[in-house]
């Protein structure tokens, strides 16, 4: 039934093995996963803009209230509020990214990548690194939108601020993927944890309203919330104040989130089946 001669069959087999012998290390695999994950963003950039609706609503509708409460100084209020919105972009954007993986687990896409000769760690890290792309684009847009209203742009500060956010975003994205891997086909569990954690984390970071006037327990909660340090660092960095003590705190918080997120994420992906 098979008309291929033995010699030709051997040549085909040798060819197959030449193709399969190409080295596929962690870096190659991570880059490959990163490229696959980023492609829909490149093909459909509008999706990046679309997820900006929420932060822009906060900026446009919450901002004026803050301005009123602060006594009418728009520029000063924006200087305080915009860095918080940047952290919000990083938080909301990356927190729900696990839902994409959850969906791919329920179809067959995730399974396909598990059967492919890819490093499991790369499957997680490549996905988490992708979070940087929308985050940087969205953060830049938010800042540019605020400039005409009096926000004073410090370019090196913005670059540094986005870099710190990117590190945080990779970690928080990895945590979201970990949650997805743990929930498997239980969507409701993913969204329940997501909703339960997200808003307290946001409010107890001082992102929207200052916590200085809040009760003591709130200040304690904020002190253990890594996002508080991130918000503090972003406020300093976007003002160009690289030497502020808050900057170091934010870098540590972002790095810790990243380290923990990637560690638990890689562990969960290695166990995935």
Contact residues toward another protein (CB under 8 A) are: 1-2, 4, 9-10, 12-13, 15-17, 19-20, 22-24, 28-29, 32, 35-36, 39-40, 43-44, 47, 103-104, 106-109, 111-118, 184-185, 273
Nearer to another protein, 13 or 259 (CB): 13
Nearer to another protein, 36 or 219 (CB): 36
Q: Are 128 and 173 in contact (CB under 8 A)?
A: yes
Query: CB of 16: closest distance to another protein in angstroms?
Result: 6
Nearer to another protein, 4 or 49 (CB): 4
Q: How far apart are CA 33 and CA 31, in angstroms?
A: 6
Query: CB of 120: closest distance to another protein in angstroms?
Result: 11
Q: Which residues contact 50 (CB under 8 A, 6 or more apart)?
A: none
CB-neighbour burial class of residue 12 (10 A; exposed 0-12, middle 13-18, buried 19+): exposed
Q: For residue 90, which of 36, 171, 159 has the smallest C-alpha distance?
A: 171
Nearer to another protein, 117 or 243 (CB): 117
Query: CB of 86: closest distance to another protein in angstroms?
Result: 26
Query: CB of 244: closest distance to another protein in angstroms?
Result: 40
For residue 152, how far is the Cα from the chain centroid? 25
Q: Are 76 and 151 in contact (CB under 8 A)?
A: no
């Amino acid at each position: 039934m098979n008309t291929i001669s033995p010699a030709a069959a051997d040549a085909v087999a040798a060819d197959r093995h030449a193709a399969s012998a190409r080295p596929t290390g962690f870096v190659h695999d991570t880059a490959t996963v990163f490229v696959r994950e980023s492609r829909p963003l490149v093909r459909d950039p509008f999706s990046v803009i679309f997820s900006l609706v929420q932060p822009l609503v906060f900026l446009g509708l919450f901002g004026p209230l803050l301005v009123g409460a602060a006594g009418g100084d728009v520029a000063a209020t924006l200087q305080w509020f915009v860095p918080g919105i940047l952290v919000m972009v990083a938080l909301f954007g990356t927190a729900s990214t696990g839902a994409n993986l959850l969906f791919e687990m329920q179809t067959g896409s995730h399974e396909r990548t598990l059967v492919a000769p890819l490093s499991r760690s790369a499957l997680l890290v490549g996905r988490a690194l992708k979070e940087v792309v929308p985050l940087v684009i969205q953060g830049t847009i938010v800042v540019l939108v605020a400039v005409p209203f009096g926000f004073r742009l410090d370019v090196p500060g913005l670059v540094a601020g986005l870099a710190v956010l990117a590190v945080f975003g990779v970690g928080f994205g990895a945590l979201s993927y970990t949650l997805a891997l743990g929930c498997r086909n239980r969507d409701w569990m993913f969204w329940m944890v997501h909703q339960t954690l997200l808003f307290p984390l946001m409010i107890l970071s001082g992102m929207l309203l200052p916590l200085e006037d809040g009760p003591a327990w709130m200040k304690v909660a904020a002190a253990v919330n890594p996002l508080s340090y991130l918000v503090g660092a972003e406020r300093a960095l976007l003002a160009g104040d690289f030497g502020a003590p808050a900057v170091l705190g934010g870098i540590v918080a972002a790095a810790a989130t990243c380290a923990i997120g990637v560690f638990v994420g890689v562990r969960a992906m290695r166990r995935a089946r």
